[in-house]
Chains A and B, each alone.
Chain A
Amino acid sequence: EAGVTQSPTHLIKTRGQQATLRCSPISGHTSVYWYQQALGLGLQFLLWYDEGEERNRGNFPPRFSGRQFPNYSSELNVNALELEDSALYLCASSLVKFSGNTIYFGEGSWLTVV
């Protein structure tokens, strides 16, 4: 069974541009989470989608947005890119949205802003 898949693996953008990252959850999983991991730092929670709805949002500006599609895949959009947006963006999925939900991560998308 395929795990969480993310694309693209690497992305280079210029400051001010927009970036779109995509995620396909494990088959049957309805929840998708996005995390930002800047170099050498921990996992910063960005967004949580479940059954097409945004359930929670981390402490990030509105230029970070996303959506979840009817097939539960998701995309993360980052507008007006800034140099400090350079990071590994991790997507994770889970089956159970309530307590005790195990989440499984993809390999991430590296975004470099120059």
Chain B
Amino acid sequence: GENVEQHPSTLSVQEGDSAVIKCTYSDSASNYFPWYKQELGKGPQLIIDIRSNVGEKKDQRIAVTLNKTAKHFSLHITETQPEDSAVYFCAASGLSGAGSYQLTFGKGTKLSVIP
């Protein structure tokens, strides 16, 4: 099955700086890569996603890049703000043991934006 590695586990940045979170995946057949943001005490919220036929996608201050050859994808947050502080999870959609596609999550990155 799919295996997703996420780095770093914790990240502290000054307000206004950029933050980058990286993930690698193992299943070359994976074709969908979402990112979730989880604020304290809440469920994860989808913030951006990318499909394997696209190399980069942007949404205001957030961007995701995908390198299919190297099997890694990254989340970029520019001009960070205190409200960006949260845990971020990457995921990859690969074949599960049941023979269907299923999301496999990374272990998460705790981002702290220091005012």
Contact = CB atoms under 8 A, between A and B. Distances in A.
Contacts of B51: 100
Nearest to B96: A56
Interface string A37-50: 00001110100100
Interface stretch (B37-45, B55-63, B70-78): B37-45
B105 A42 contact: yes
A101 B101 contact: yes
Contact of A101 (B32, B45, B89, B98): B32
- Interface of B (DSSP majority class): strand
Nearest to B97: A56
Interface residues of B, number: 25
A3 B93 CA distance: 22
Given A48-B102, A56-B100, A56-B102, A99 B43 contact: no
Contacts of B100: 55-56, 97-98
Contacts of A100: 31-32, 51, 93, 101
Contact of A43 (B32, B45, B89): B89
A98 B36 contact: no
A42 B44 contact: no
A107 B45 CA distance: 9
Which of under 10, 10 to 19, 20 to 34, or 35 or more describes the interface residues of A? Answer: 20 to 34
A108 B106 contact: no
B93 A99 contact: yes
The winner among A56, A99, A106 for most chain B CB atoms within 10 A is A99
Given A42-B107, A43-B105, A107 B42 contact: yes
A107 B89 contact: no
A42 B31 contact: no
10 contacts: A4-B43, A42-B105, A43-B105, A48-B96, A56-B100, A99-B32, A100-B93, A102-B32, A105-B43, A105-B44
Interface of A: 4, 41-43, 45, 48, 55-56, 90, 97-108
Interface of B: 31-32, 34, 36, 42-46, 49, 51, 89, 93, 96-98, 100-108
